[in-house]
Amino acid sequence: MPTESKVAKLSDISKIIKDGDTVAIGGSWLGSHPMAVIREIIRQKIKNLTAITVVGSIDVDLLIGAGCLSRLMFSFVSMEAFGLAPNFRRAIEKEGLPYDEITGLAVIIGLEAGGRNVPFLPYRGPFGSDLVKFRPEFYKEIKCPFTGEDLIAAAAIVPDVAIIHATRADNTGNVQIDGTSGTDVEMMRAAKKRIVSVEEIVSPEEIRRNPAKTKIPGFQVDMVIEAPLGAHPCSCAPDYVFDPWHIMKYMQAAMSPETFQQYIDEYVMKPEFEYLEAIGGMKQAAILRRLAREVKFL
């Protein structure tokens, strides 16, 4: 078994993520986005990125607001019950951020094609959708070579880098995800380089005690970063819930570019451990973990 350690510090991400890269961001809705790595991208002022998200929220909105993106591929970006994503809206409505809006299944199937090393995969796709018409570089209407049936080809997506947040990994990058994995596995298979941040780095023996939980084996991972509460203010199910109090603060700050800059200065442009202090430290973490445990079945 491999022994070479892939453990790195948050500040090491610039060894992998470069200006101009296409970066697939794991997580879904308000869950498990690699927020510690996102904040580090902003701290290090890595720019001109093309972000790829399936169902994004504050991850994408924060990168847009901080000026790190020059293009966005998405099927959905929303703060869910908190409202539409403010920076995302402003960038598209007022600032002309170039974007590719692709239907949800097409992004996932495109990533799967990337992972399989084929140029496209066919499916019974969204015929009649304007998005198919608007983005011929991602969709083609084709005929099945066997039956003649009309199908849609989703073009392969091969990101330069995939970044995901997971429950635990060992030092060689065997990754376990206890909760929502979204498209993390597909992104890691498709990408050229892969970074995973985890709640906890554990021993190889501990991984091997529960191999069925390992969703991504180490050979598909290039860098492992320990980042407890690294999805905050998003959830990392089933360990902690998203932080609605912080998200409300974020929504308030993102109302204008000026107040948003204050948010960036106050929360992002400081070391990660200071961020965790600023959001309420251990006390807040305990509440979010407790909420995730106290569920009631009917």
Partner 1 sequence: MTQYAKDYSVGELMCVTLAREIDDGDVVVLGSFTPLAYASYILAKITHAPNSTLLAYAAVDFKPFQLSFIRAESSATRGAACIWTMLEDLNSVHLKGRGDVEAISSIQADGYGNINLSAVGEYDSPKLRGPGGAGAPEVIKMHRKMIGYFPNHSKMTFVPKVDVITGTRYVIGAEERIKAGYRPGPIRYITNLAVISKEEKDKPFKIDSLHSGVSAEQVVENTGFELEVPKDIPETEKPTKEQVRLLREEVDPYGTMAFDFKPGKERLGYLNEILQKELEAIGYA
Q: Whole-number minimum distance, CB 38 to partner 1, in Å?
A: 19
- Burial status of residue 148 (CB atoms within 10 A of its CB: 0-12, 13-18, 19 or more): exposed
- For residue 35 the two structure tokens come to 């927020």
Closest among 12, 1, 54, 59 to 226, alpha carbons compared: 12
Torsion of CA 281, 222, 239, 28, to 10 degrees: 100
Please tell me the distance from the alpha carbon of residue 34 to that of residue 182, in angstroms, as a whole number: 12
- Taken as a whole, the chain contains a residue count of 298
Rule CB under 8 A: is residue 287 a binding residue for partner 1? yes
- For residue 55 the two structure tokens come to 């169902």
Rule CB under 8 A: is residue 110 a binding residue for partner 1? no
Q: Which is nearer to partner 1, 101 or 206 (CB)?
A: 101
Give the start-end residues of each E strand in 12-56.
22-25, 49-52, 55-56
Taking CB under 8 A as the criterion, the residue among 116, 127, 211, 262 binding partner 1 is 127
Partners of residue 150 on adjacent β-strands: 143
Which one of the spans 130-138, 164-172, 255-263, 272-280 is the region binding partner 1 (CB under 8 A)?
130-138
Rule CB under 8 A: is residue 185 a binding residue for partner 1? yes
Taking CB under 8 A as the criterion, the residue among 105, 142, 201, 278 binding partner 1 is 105
Rule CB under 8 A: is residue 129 a binding residue for partner 1? yes
Rule CB under 8 A: is residue 245 a binding residue for partner 1? yes
Please tell me the distance from the alpha carbon of residue 68 to that of residue 131, in angstroms, as a whole number: 25
Q: Whole-number minimum distance, CB 240 to partner 1, in Å?
A: 8
Q: By rule CB under 8 A, what count of residues binds partner 1?
A: 67
Q: Which is nearer to partner 1, 10 or 108 (CB)?
A: 108
List contacts with partner 1 (CB under 8 A): 28-31, 54-55, 74-78, 80-85, 88-89, 92-93, 101, 103-106, 108, 112, 123-131, 134, 149, 178-186, 215, 235, 237-238, 241-242, 244-245, 248, 287, 290-298
